[in-house]
Structure 1
Amino acid sequence: MTGTEKNRRITDVGTLKALAHPLRMKLYRGLTVARVATASQLAEQVDEAVSLVSYHLRKLAEHGLIEEAEPRSADGRERWWQPASDGVSIRDEDFRDAPEKAAAHTAASRLFFEQRADMYRRFLDERTHWDEEWNSVAESSESTLRLTAAELAELTAELLALVRRYDERGRAADAAGDTEGRENVAVHTYAFPFRV
């Protein structure tokens, strides 16, 4: 990453819509996991044509979500890409001031949720292919709490700080070449008010 941006906050509808395209979100997620990849490598992951993937990668780059990376091979025709930040955040308060912005935020949030749910469904379908060690630590739970909005904000901040700490640990291990026993792990949290 050229900058020092840890987590980019998306505040404009154009960037939100650029990311909230089903294929672009898959590409962004794939690039986040790989950290550096070519359009060819990502096209293989998502089972799409390289030309289509290249187009969508350029769209993500136009909005500053990804950027070109240092080449990893001698083939000068290959463009290597990397995320422009460690992650993105999208907050409701940035899209409340106009109905079309709120609608775009809702549509994007639904897409992100559906893709996350698809990831979990895939794990459930493939659970028998994971060994007992991974199956015994995979977690799915629900807690219902009675909180104020301020307490929910505090809980969310603590959860995100904990996840970041483990992310940094994993990145440091990868950088040191300590990849034995490491797998990609998705952590999804949803915290929202509801009434019965």
Structure 2
Amino acid sequence: MKLGTADFPKLRFSLLLAALMIGIGAGVVYVSRDWAKSAKLRLTAAQNERNEIVGKLQRVRGEESEIKQKSAMFNELRTRGVIGDEQRLEWVELLKDVRDQRKLIDLKYEIAPQRLLDANPVNGYNFFSSEMKLQLKLLHEEDLTRLLSDLRQRAKALIQVRKCAVTRLPRGGAESGTSAQLQADCQIEWITLHEMESSPSGGTVR
């Protein structure tokens, strides 16, 4: 089929129309891609914002849980008598009570003056310690472990054993079955907490 001169205007119109349609199609594709990219960015921003909110909520819940745990711990310490002035007379009575209950053969002690453990307070509290040198005669090593367990459970202080040396005593000197076989020499820290505003002597602790 041959094209005449009269067909060129029609052909040019068709070509222009085709080019226009191609341009419109390309524009639609470009706009679609741009919209998809924008939508993806908006989705990412929304997810980041959500993650940030969730993270803050988790931190708040974690801090709330930590505060509750610390509050419960300090309430327990206060109930036990660990927070406040040291109760030396009660410590001595406790030692005598444990000695009698456990039927310990001999028990001697010496308590040093109270001292500040750390100049940096923890949650508004200062830690103080009174070191006790404890010496006792034992039939068995279990006597020592039971004594320390009783002190940890019942003392109005936190008990920290620095060291214990157990030595065997010479044979003889008492009736069989009742004589001590061992001697224990221990250093024990009796730790109490005091609010930062006041020290055990009534002065301000800085």
- Superposition TM-score, scaled by structure 1 size: 0.25
- Indicate the structure with greater strand content: 2
Larger Rg: 2
TM-score (ref. length: structure 2): 0.24
Higher helix share: 1
**Higher RCO structure, 1 or 2 (CA under 8 Å, sep 6+):** 1
